[in-house]
Amino acid sequence: MTTPGSRTCRLGVLHGDGIGPEIVPSSVAVVDAAVAAAGGEAIEWHELPLGFAALTEYGEHTPASTLKALEDLDGWLLGPHDSAAYPEPHRSRLNPSGTIRKHFGLYANIRPAKAFEGGNALVPGTDLVIARENTEGFYADRNTFRGTDEMMPTPDVAIMHGIITRAATEKIAHSAFRLAQRRRRKVTIVHKANVLKMTTGLFRDVCREVGRQYPEVEVDDFHVDAMTVHLVRRAHEFDVIVTENMFGDILSDLAGEIAGSLGIAPSVNSSDTHAMAQAAHGSAPDIAGQDRANPIAMNLSSAMLLEWLGARHDDPRLTDAAHRIEDGIARTVRSGVSTRDLGGSAGCSEFTEAVVAAIGSSR
């Protein structure tokens, strides 16, 4: 039994590819500053190989030794990967984040989209969270026990299957409703039950069933195509959106951009026992190595991880540190320092220094 506030957290650091080696170290610096400001125990960081760096050294993008090491940690920061650029056969295999999500059964991908002052939001006031089911649906690389569920019987025919189960839907639905209880008490179920009647129809019906256990939470539902329109027009009216894997992936990019930029869209992937911070965006190879990346998404993902750990281990200092990161970023952007995607001119390193200073000044 640990005493609240006394715990040393052991976190993994996986830089990944593209802008990963810029935004992940930025997040380590920001987390260290926030934990210190909150009076918590210093984080014990464990750097582990992944992505291109691991391919060169271990012949695998996600070495077994990395997975093994992660098992003993409290959580980890995963940088983005540029798996589309890996040499074959690695390119065709399950990618690093899919491998980790599957290995640890990280069924909930929680992706907030929150606009903040000075943040260039297309729909000001947007403050929603997408609860994306992470292990099945129409992503062929997630929905089989072994191998990926895509096949080409002839060079001109490609087949994939989608899978929705009651068990996985119940889990993500409970995550969504519990989240809504702590927020504005509204859940929107997104599906395509007019066409994908059995699969996404099951998803909608099971979410509705679970919703009956949370009578204080209001529920509605939309087809995914209609939902894109509602988000563009009135994203600020939504609270928690629960949906299957692929719809969630697409809608969260849209929601991130609506809230200001994909560069500010964070996420955490979790099971009941493990959690991984991962920005919603990719490795942005077009700007990699130029100190132009916006680290906000990765910084906020790390804050979400601290919040998850704070709740799991009853450690209010970790929760406090998470809020200090959010506040430090908001104050930095409000003061006029932001990266190019938000209309500013700061590089990743300059922005990080400003956030660390803002966190330090809030002690």
Q: Please, are residues 357 and 327 in contact by the beta-carbon 8 Å criterion?
A: no
Relative to beta strand 157-160, strand 150-154 is antiparallel
- DSSP-derived 3-state class of residue 190: strand
Nearest distance in Å: CB 270, ligand ATP:
19
Nearest distance in Å: CB 301, ligand ATP:
11
Beta bridge partners of 346: 339
Give the per-residue contact string, 2-31, with ligand ATP (x = CB under 6 A; - = no).
-----------------x------------
Nearest to ligand ATP of 36, 55 (CB atom): 55
Confirm or reject binding of residue 55 to ligand ATP (CB under 6 A).
no
Nearest to ligand ATP of 49, 282 (CB atom): 282
Count of chain residues binding ligand ATP (CB under 6 A): 14
The secondary structure of residue 197, as a DSSP letter, is T
Residues within window 195-214 making contact with ligand ATP, judged by CB under 6 A? none
86 is catalytic: no
291 is catalytic: no
Among 131, 287, 354, 358, the residue binding ligand ATP under the rule CB under 6 A is 287
Q: Please, are residues 170 and 105 in contact by the beta-carbon 8 Å criterion?
A: no
139 is catalytic: yes
Looking at residue 278, its amino acid is Q
Q: Which residue is nearest to ligand ATP (CB)?
A: 282
Using alpha carbons, list the distances in angstroms from residue 210 to 112, 133, 164, 168, 273.
22, 15, 15, 12, 22
Give the per-residue contact string, 75-104, with ligand ATP (x = CB under 6 A; - = no).
-----x------------------------
Among 294, 299, 332, 352, the residue binding ligand ATP under the rule CB under 6 A is 294
Identified catalytic residue from 249, 315, 320, 341: 249
- DSSP-derived 3-state class of residue 121: coil
192 is catalytic: yes
ω into residue 89 within 30 of 0, thus cis?
yes
Q: Please, are residues 151 and 205 in contact by the beta-carbon 8 Å criterion?
A: no
Identified catalytic residue from 192, 221, 239, 315: 192
Among 25, 162, 282, 344, the residue binding ligand ATP under the rule CB under 6 A is 282
Angle at 288 between CA 114 and CA 23, to 5 degrees: 45
The secondary structure of residue 3, as a DSSP letter, is P
Confirm or reject binding of residue 293 to ligand ATP (CB under 6 A).
yes
Nearest distance in Å: CB 215, ligand ATP:
37
Burial class, 89, CB count within 10 angstroms (exposed 0-12 / middle 13-18 / buried 19+): exposed
Confirm or reject binding of residue 284 to ligand ATP (CB under 6 A).
yes
Among 258, 341, 352, 356, the residue binding ligand ATP under the rule CB under 6 A is 341
58 is catalytic: no
Confirm or reject binding of residue 286 to ligand ATP (CB under 6 A).
yes
Confirm or reject binding of residue 302 to ligand ATP (CB under 6 A).
no
Burial class, 359, CB count within 10 angstroms (exposed 0-12 / middle 13-18 / buried 19+): buried
Interacting span for ligand ATP (CB under 6 A) from 25-33, 59-67, 156-164, 290-298: 290-298
Nearest to ligand ATP of 135, 267 (CB atom): 267
Nearest distance in Å: CB 306, ligand ATP:
20
Identified catalytic residue from 74, 139, 221, 341: 139
Sheet containing 186-191: order of strands: 44-47, 10-14, 75-78, 275-278, 268-270, 108-114, 127-133, 240-243, 186-191, 218-223
Q: Please, are residues 304 and 267 in contact by the beta-carbon 8 Å criterion?
A: yes
Site residues, ligand ATP (CB under 6 A): 19, 80, 262-263, 281-284, 286-287, 293-294, 297, 341
Active site residues: 139, 192, 225, 249, 253
